[in-house]
Structure 1
Amino acid sequence: MHCQEDRVLKIASILLGKRVRNWYLRILRTDQLSNEWKDSLQHAQQEDSDIKPILEWMKASAPKPMWSDVSAMSSTTKSYWAQWDSLLIQDGVLCRKWENGRGDKCHLQMVVPKAKVPDVLQLYHSGCSGGHLGVKQTLLKIRERFYWVHCRDDVEDWCRKCTSCAAIKGPQTRSRGALKLYNVGAPWERIAIDVAGPFPESESGNKYFMVVMDYFTKWPEVFAIQNQEASTVADKLVHEVFCRFGVPLEIHSDQGRNFEFQIFQETCRVMGTHKTRTTSYHPQSDEMVERFNQTLERYLAKVVEKRQRDWDMHI
């Protein structure tokens, strides 16, 4: 577990800015919180009018207060009072015990005061570690470490008002024409390939990215490339895909010249792979990889820096 987190921290130190990285380091591990984050959270909880009464009762080791003691308090305080048996103080921080529906997993969630809610939402949705995911995925990530009353409502409101998400997402148009299903019986039996770009040239000299997707598992492989020539595409396909997953029975692509060029066709012939292509003016037959391209482009548009010279590092 720690090895995986250390790898995440190393990537964060390269890709994220100093300020966001420091936030990430401070709250990534709930069991090894820095003193700075502990002090900040403790102070915010003590200053929060809804949490302060609960915190004082628990620090005094008092039994659960009577209803008459909390009846005049806010609805948020009453909600925490109703969860009294699930609350505890760890390292001076008020936490909540959470168990899954089966009761076989339990972990602690830090209780977040109102003053800290925007910071958590900023990191887990708008930050690079969040990737501007939807309400469901953002909520799942937050609930792994944090809890506050009306958490779902705040996440929904934050995602709805996110300017980056609103700017990137356009109107969704429905496909016109019914398409037939293509049955695939095993992983990497049939793959789709596509090249997107050109994008602003990165510091590494890349201007395109190539997507390879498996029709059976929907597993995507993405590679940043400097050009879309047939030799470049064929070389990347052989050394990065065939050598790792094996040679597929069939490759499907659009009618791009790089896929129709003789060197690419010859590569498929030598490898014993059947090559198919979309029909003219009907890219829907390659809908799987085209849809993934849209998702990846939207994500990159949200996380790249203003100079747009590091987009290939985020792939």
Structure 2
Amino acid sequence: MLRTSIKGQVLADLVAEFAKPPVETVAEKRNMDGKSVGVISTLGPSCWKVYVDGAANQKGSGVGLVLISPEKTIIEKSLRLRFSATNNEAEYEALLQGMTMVQKMGGKTMEMFSDSRLVVSQVKGELEARDARMQEYLSQVKRLQSDFNLFNLSHVSRSGNTHADSLATLATSSAGGLPRIILVEHLDGANEVAKGMVHIHEVRVGPSWIDPIVRFLKDDFLAAEKSEAEKIQRNAPRFWLSEDHKLYKRSYSGPYLLCVHPEASKLLLEELHEGICGSHTGGRSLSHRAITQEYWWPGMQKEALEYAKKCDQCQRFAPNIYQPGGVLNPLSSPWPFAQWGLDIVGPFPKAARNKRYLLVGTDYFTKWVEAEPLANIRDVDAKKFIWRNILTRFGVPRTLISDNGL
């Protein structure tokens, strides 16, 4: 007889040796009235918990993943997408990356959490994916979902998914290609600031016209060159130096005007011209507006005019100017071949057939020239020239002008 019982026992021992230990779960059984009947103990596989989030902004796109293993081990992952993606596409990429990582680690049951209601609803079938790109992502999720024994996707609020959200934001805001370890420390108290004045020095600002005047008003220092020193002494009474070493220009009837460094004048004009409250005014009114805002620098009107001319929007939406750009010159001949000028040129050295003279006719409109060499200037030759070269070719002209020659 066959020993089937021994073979079955060997197979059972083999399965028990290599199988993962099950997790015991306790469920409470209730009847139809809602009363508790008893406790049912069921055995279920280990479950992974994954929190995913995607972020997309002007700096780029990123994905944040937080994986919690059945042994409560937390794995953090921040991925930067090197291709352009929308916010919904970044959410799908985060979902696919989380499923792929759990699959590589051998997990068969997982519970995922995402703060994107659109992605969660499309995966559950509550919403339809109409975009072709969203349909492709949804098909990939469905294909990976079939490899798991248990898969559950739930929606959580943004406040409940802050860990993954911070990792996704970190991927979009950080520079790529640099390994880094970020240490977060806690400060229990504020640092004590020493009493006294704290001097702040501006860096990357080159020398300008402000420096010699400030040195003269502050330390009574003049340049070695005589002409430059006289110029500073002559212009210094027009300025005033404050306690925080800011230079102001005295005005006759208004408040003192803050002197602006040449490198900061362009930013100031940009803010006044096309900033939040900018009105795209012309150069003259732009310089006047800078003065009303209590700013001043030499040559501000010229810079304002040049800046207004270079503004792209002012050139695009400027009113059409119908006035001609130059002086209009009246035309003596308004249409072609209506007015001809006749002239006799010569005498020249004798050519073939003793031809020494040249009879020329020029149209005033097109500047077309008709010429014929002649041996003698006679009325018969002039009549033949006009008939053959002008009348028969261009029609009867309105006017024939000559210099009253014979």
Q: TM-score, normalised by structure 2?
A: 0.27
- When Rg is computed on C-alpha atoms for both structures, the one with the higher figure is 2
Higher helix share: 1
Higher strand share: 2
Which structure exhibits the higher relative contact order, with contacts defined as CA atoms closer than 8 Å and separated by 6 or more residues?
1
Q: TM-score, normalised by structure 1?
A: 0.34
